A and B are shown apart, each in its own frame.
Chain A
């Protein structure tokens, strides 16, 4: 009886292990396939976000709030409402940055447009579930509640980012939060809220600040 029970436990453990391994192999897991299907049904995303920037120099994280609009056709609006008001607009390959000052939007002269374009391109892929298309991250899917996608940086990027964890919401195809870990103990946590999927988003929201 004891031997039978022990064998059963071993069997259950190995079954759980195999299931776990399958779940982290994209393309071979039913979960991954259904997750990809959920992402495929998304045409637009509208959400608010709360960003916590943890830095070694600060006792408390730097909190920023903003909103995010995304069209699968290739438009993205990433806007900070506080503590400073700025907006990044992407339409196709064009990325523009504005900040709000003295009652008006002003085009920002900050360079690093290329870096921003790269980040926006990555984010666009995340919101379409196209993790395997990333040129700078390899991914591992961990099913469970909540499901998580772990992005590991490829050579070069690991100087700036140690890893990214995308935590999925209970709602299919919706990202609940993104956690970015950097070398030196810094981290960024972006939590999305009031997420609306497939809402109608006028084109001018991606053209003008």
Chain B
């Protein structure tokens, strides 16, 4: 490979890497109806609830772990309580959240870092709690999917898209996709029977969650 080819390859690589850093342009929305917000929020359980999930966590392809997750919520009181257990039932992590305050009750290594607690509670909020406040945008995409978008004080935004498979996405303040979750029907007492959460930033991982019967 001569110098020109090397330069071309190098530039192409740099361009590709930069393209990966670019934020997605905001999708244009057609005007929505007043009841659209209710439809977006209806994706989450409304009354007190509890559920048990079978979780397969994939950090990299070929590196995965099987866990049990227990979560309990009280939307009116803005309370969440979550536990992560091994298949044998050892508690690896337990935390409570009241409004925005998180209390870690138990955390075994390697689940004992503040970053892990923040990340896990962010996942739990994304999957089970409707975003707070009024959405900044409501409307329909060209494909007919209803979209509700919330801007958060830190500049990040949450978007709920109600298409055949409802999707919740979280973009950071630069507009980069940080996490997205697919919620698969059937819904049992307001909870999806299957969920897949893909995290891209700051660290990539994938959670495949199956709702276990009897506990919701």
Point out residues on A near B: beta carbons under 8 Å. 51, 53, 55, 57-60, 62, 64, 78, 80, 83-84, 86, 88, 99, 101, 106, 108-112, 115-116, 119, 186, 188
Contacts and interface: CB of A to CB of B under 8 A. Distances in A.
B87 A86 contact: yes
B110 interface: yes
B215 A80 contact: no
B56 interface: yes
A90 B91 CA distance: 22
Contacts, number: 69
B66 A83 contact: no
Contacts of A99: 56, 64-66, 87
Contacts of B91: 186
A112 B59 contact: no
B68 A62 contact: yes
A64 B70 CA distance: 14
Given A62-B52, A101-B56, A109-B59, A84 B86 contact: no
A188 B89 contact: yes
A54 to B, nearest CB: 10
B45 to A, nearest CB: 16
A108 to B, nearest CB: 5
B68 A83 contact: yes
Contacts of B68: 62, 83-84
Contacts of A88: 88
Interface string B108-123: 1110000000000000
B64 A109 contact: yes
Nearest to B106: A184
B85 to A, nearest CB: 8
B73 to A, nearest CB: 11
Given A55-B83, A112-B86, A101 B215 contact: no
A207 B64 CA distance: 20
B64 A60 contact: no
Contact of B87 (A80, A101, A115, A188): A80
Contacts of A62: 52, 68, 70, 89, 215
Q: Closest 3 A-B residue pairs measured CB to CB?
A: A99-B66, A86-B87, A53-B89
Contact of A106 (B59, B64, B109): B64
Contacts of B90: 112, 115
B34 interface: no
Given A60-B214, A62-B68, A110 B86 contact: yes
Contacts of A119: 88
A64 B65 CA distance: 18
A183 B85 CA distance: 16
B212 interface: yes
Contacts of B110: 111
B81 A83 contact: no
Contacts of A57: 50, 70, 72, 81, 83
B165 to A, nearest CB: 19
Contact of B65 (A53, A83, A108): A108
Contacts of A106: 64
B173 interface: no
B70 A58 contact: yes
B215 A58 contact: yes
B63 interface: yes
B141 interface: no
Tell which of B65, B89, B212 has the most Cβ of chain A within 10 Å: B89
A111 B116 CA distance: 15
17 contacts: A55-B83, A57-B50, A58-B50, A62-B70, A64-B89, A80-B87, A83-B52, A84-B66, A84-B68, A99-B64, A99-B66, A99-B87, A101-B66, A108-B65, A110-B65, A111-B109, A188-B89
Contacts of B87: 64, 80, 84, 86, 99
